[in-house]
Structure 1
Amino acid sequence: MFQVAVDEPLVDWRGNCGNLTSAVGVCALDAGLVEPTEPVPPRSLFPSGRVPTKLRNRKSMPRPRTKT
């Protein structure tokens, strides 16, 4: 994952924010950017408010050089 600075033209590729990683899939589904591969259960099935997700972290991918 990466973070985009709001006060300068900078993209930081060093970090791996778990909060962002956990939200990106749900956001993509909600925005209609991807189709679910399995039926998505209603939220009421998860009274804890937690929904199981599967994510793949590819920290070993080559990263472009960026200004830091």
Structure 2
Amino acid sequence: MTRATTRDPETFAETIAAVAAELPDGHIAAWSEALSAAGAPNQQVEAALIDAWPGYAVASHARRLVTV
């Protein structure tokens, strides 16, 4: 996933690691597929993450990934 604006790679990596540590394994695999198909972080990606494996209060985690 790429973004037109400059992103701090360390902050982004830290966010990904933190979110991955909080999600159950099934979510991680499903989200990996959703992120692989994403072109840029946006509301559609956020919705795809939530739809990929619903439950477990995933909306806040999805928002973190697309807004970091």
Please tell me the TM-score bracket, short chain as reference. Answer: under 0.3
Q: Tell me which structure has the larger Cα radius of gyration.
A: 1
Q: Which has the bigger relative contact order, CA under 8 A and spacing at least 6?
A: 2
Query: Structure 2 length as normaliser, TM-score?
Result: 0.26
Query: Structure 1 length as normaliser, TM-score?
Result: 0.26
Identify the structure with the greater helix proportion.
Answer: 2
